Amino acid sequence: MNILITGVAGFIGYHLAKSCIKDGHNIIGIDNINDYYDQKLKFARLKKLGINSSFSSEFNKEVISNKYNNWLKFYRTSIEDKETLEYIFKSNKVDVVCNLAAQVGVRYSLINPGQYIQSNVVGFVNICEMCKQFGIKKFIYASSSSVYGDATTIPFSEDNFLNKPISLYAATKLSNELIAYTYSHLYKFETIGLRFFTVYGPWGRPDMALFLFTKAILENETINVFNNGELYRDFTYIDDIIEGLKKTVYNQLTKKNKSRVYNIGRGKKIKLLNFISLLEDELSIKANKNFQPKQPGDVYQTYACCKKLNDDYGYLPNTDIKKGVKKFINWYKKFYEII
């Protein structure tokens, strides 16, 4: 199968590409390697996939690696660049599209709103247009648990009617779901939106809690604990996410409803303070905590009901948080050479 993945130098995109190549598939990868967080980490992920940074630092250049027998073709470009997208879709036979490229981060959407509209709305519509133009049958895209806003009915269910996103990031993700529905309705291709719930694990994102806390604790810096630690998150280990995501890529359902969204989480919520205690135990270091009020845009809790994804695709996340955090710490220490 030829799978096109946008955001392939990102946390989830990298893991998906690696796993699909190992399963024997070919990947057409796109990423603009933006500087929202340390680009070195993105280049290092690409290097693991066999793409050398001396190539990937050039824009609009096609680079091919076949480190794992099957190939990864990499293009450094932005999904806002429709002309280059057309060239990529013309030059490659694509069976499935996975759009993971996005301007991520809830808090940053208050600082740089324009970037969210460019990547998550303009870029997203461009990818939908490519699916329409090139007759793609299946389009999978990243949505987010943040679409639930401050919903109080837990666990969060896909049946909830949602129209109250509390950050621009969440608003762009909710709009993606509406846009995908429209394209599916008009042009009859399958669209699958996956609402990711706080994904963590090796090669994870430096702007997310586990990474920030681990770094700060190891460097004896203070960590900011928002809402006095009274926040709840459904932390989902990357391997569980990839298993679920791949099921939607590989399996064909005979459903009448061609446009669907699914929660993809662990199905357990953890209080932030307890999560920090767990991390302290694993690192055997006490954190210096700076208790802060809740940040604008942050939701109080996330907690996924994953029954729908389980019923349709047999999704069964099973990584225990303690084990997952341990794996992250091992990776972090190795990657940053901390003895």
Kindly give the pairing relationship between strand 236-237 and strand 199-200: parallel
Residue of closest CB approach to ligand NAD: 10
Alpha carbon distance 264, 175 (integer Å):
18
Residue (25 or 45) nearer to ligand NAD, CB:
45
Alpha carbon distance 120, 115 (integer Å):
8
CB 339 to ligand NAD: min, Å: 27
Residue ranges binding ligand NAD (CB under 6 A): 6-7, 9-13, 30-34, 42, 78-80, 100-104, 119, 123, 142, 144, 196, 198-199, 205
Alpha carbon distance 279, 289 (integer Å):
13
CB 207 to ligand NAD: min, Å: 8
In Å, what is the CA distance from 226 to each residue of 28, 144, 230, 232, 333? Answer: 39, 21, 8, 11, 26
In eight-state DSSP terms, residue 185 is: H
CB 100 to ligand NAD: min, Å: 4
Residue (178 or 285) nearer to ligand NAD, CB:
178
Alpha carbon distance 59, 77 (integer Å):
6
CB 270 to ligand NAD: min, Å: 14
Residue (116 or 189) nearer to ligand NAD, CB:
116
The pair phi, psi for residue 137, each rounded to 5°, is -90, -30
CB 189 to ligand NAD: min, Å: 20
Catalytic annotation present for 169: yes
Contacts by 129-133 with C-beta closer than 8 Å and gap 24+? Answer: 129/82, 130/85, 130/86, 130/89, 130/97, 131/97, 131/183, 131/187, 131/189, 132/183, 132/187, 132/189, 133/86, 133/89
Residue (143 or 259) nearer to ligand NAD, CB:
143
Catalytic residue among 169, 183, 232, 237: 169
Residue (111 or 339) nearer to ligand NAD, CB:
111
Task: Just list the catalytic residues.
Answer: 169
